[in-house]
Amino acid sequence: MGGVGSLVGVGRQAPAPPLVEAADTGPFFHNNAIETIEGAVAFYNGQAFNNSPSGKFLASTDPNGVGIRLDATQVVAVAAFLRVINALENIRQSIELLTQSEALGFFEGERAKPLLMRAANEARDATAVLAGAGLHPQAVALLDESGKLTERAESSLFSRRGLTREAIKVQEQARAQMIEERK
């Protein structure tokens, strides 16, 4: 058929997502060749990248002439870090949406529903990102619980705000499970 509509985006790539959202944006690269964040981190550690112009440039800026060299445990650790910061951002966004919903009055339930739906989606994203690598199982269980509370709040006429407050508390517990405070 052709036409102007079919030309939109030709020659353009979509902007890369922020790093904090990287873990749940796969598959990766322009051709979707890599499915997981672990695979994407491993790619930058491999010969294909290190022999590329970008890899060679990176190596040229290192006093030892070394590009990216990570052992297998470091690849997993970098990917885990990316997964955790992604999940923490999902939790932050979900709590923000839940708080907005909770602030709405009793007669504003219809305005609260889309906020609650988005909050539940953010919690599900956090759950999937963590569970995808077996990270923080207690936090995953709490996020599942929070998602269920949020869905109940969405369909509740009288308990929406109380269920929303409880979902916020549970997400805060999940976040605390993931963050190790150093004193």
Residue ranges of the domains in the chain? 84-177
Tell me the per-residue pLDDT of 69-98, one tens digit each, with 9 for 90 and over. 899 999 999 999 999 999 999 999 999 999
Q: Give the range among 39-43, 138-142, 149-153 with minimum mean pLDDT.
A: 39-43
Cβ contact 62:131 at 8 Å: no
Task: Please report, for residues 50, 67, 68, 157, the alpha-carbon distance to residue 62 in angstroms, rounded to integers and kept in the order given.
Answer: 13, 7, 10, 61
Q: Rounded to two decimals, what is the model's pTM?
A: 0.84
Tell me the per-residue pLDDT of 154-177, one tens digit each, with 9 for 90 and over. 999 899 999 999 999 999 999 999
Q: How far is residue 90's CA from residue 173's CA, in Å, rounded to a whole number? A: 14
* The CATH number fitting domain 84-177, selected from 1.10.3470, 3.30.70, 1.10.10, 1.20.120: 1.20.120
